[in-house]
Amino acid sequence: MKSMKLRKVIKGMLAFLFVLTGFFTFSDFKVNAASYDDQVNVRLVVPETFKLTPTGSYRLVNVDNGRSVDYRGSLEFRYSRTSNAIGVRSDLNNSYIYSGRGFRLEERTPSSGNSVVVNQVRVAGAASYTRNTYRGSMSVTVNANDRRPRLHNELDIEDYLKGVVPREAIASWPIEA
């Protein structure tokens, strides 16, 4: 009788361990980066050297090795033609850290308090670079064809529309427009 109960307990424990093992095996443990339900990816045109100033909860990741890079304040990015890599430095360190695949400035969690100021970006229809504020995460990569940095703004479609609609819709238009 005791051996029957012991077998049931052992079987129950084994079943629990298998379920637990499966949970940890197939779970995504990347909890530091925001994920967006309906992601929009917008390419931004920037010069060879530009700055990003994040406000809110962000982390900077070197895409080459997946490691976080410590920073404080503004981040200055520049493209190195000799190494065909992206360099970044912040107010925390005076020297550049280079990455052949680029960097990601990731929102830790989506929040209306998170934003990134790009000090030089060319917006549609503009002849020169201007300063602009964006929501969401940013990725800075190397464009091998142009041999220049490529900046992408990655965000949820709702946040994208919050930024675009007020600039493109006229207040006097009817609500159906």
- Whole-model pTM: value is 0.72
Per-residue pLDDT band for 20 (boundaries 50, 70, 90) equals: very low
- Does the pLDDT of residue 77 top 60, yes or no? yes
Per-residue pLDDT band for 134 (boundaries 50, 70, 90) equals: very high
DSSP code per residue over 81-139: TTTTEEEEEESS-SS-EEESS-EEEEESS--TT-EEEEEEEB-TT-SS-EEEEE-SEEE
pLDDT tens, residue by residue, 145-175: 877 899 999 988 888 787 776 566 666 777 7
Is the CB of residue 87 less than 8 Å from the CB of residue 62? no
* Cβ neighbour number for residue 56 with a 10 Å cutoff: 15
Q: Using CA atoms of 119, 108, 85, 41 in order, give the dihedral in degrees to the nearest 10.
A: -70
Per-residue pLDDT band for 1 (boundaries 50, 70, 90) equals: low
**CA dihedral over 124, 130, 134, 140, signed as positive or negative:** positive
Highest mean pLDDT of the ranges 2-11, 15-24, 55-64: 55-64
pLDDT tens, residue by residue, 85-109: 999 999 888 899 999 999 999 999 8
Quote the distance between the C-alpha of residue 122 and its chain's center.
20
Q: 3-class SS at 73?
A: coil
- For residue 107, the model assigns a pLDDT of 94
If one compares 33 and 16, the residue with the highest pLDDT of the two is: 33
If one compares 84 and 22, the residue with the highest pLDDT of the two is: 84
CA distances to 8, 89, 99 from 140, in Å: 56, 13, 10
pLDDT tens, residue by residue, 57-75: 999 999 999 999 999 999 9
Return the bridge partners of 98, or none: 87
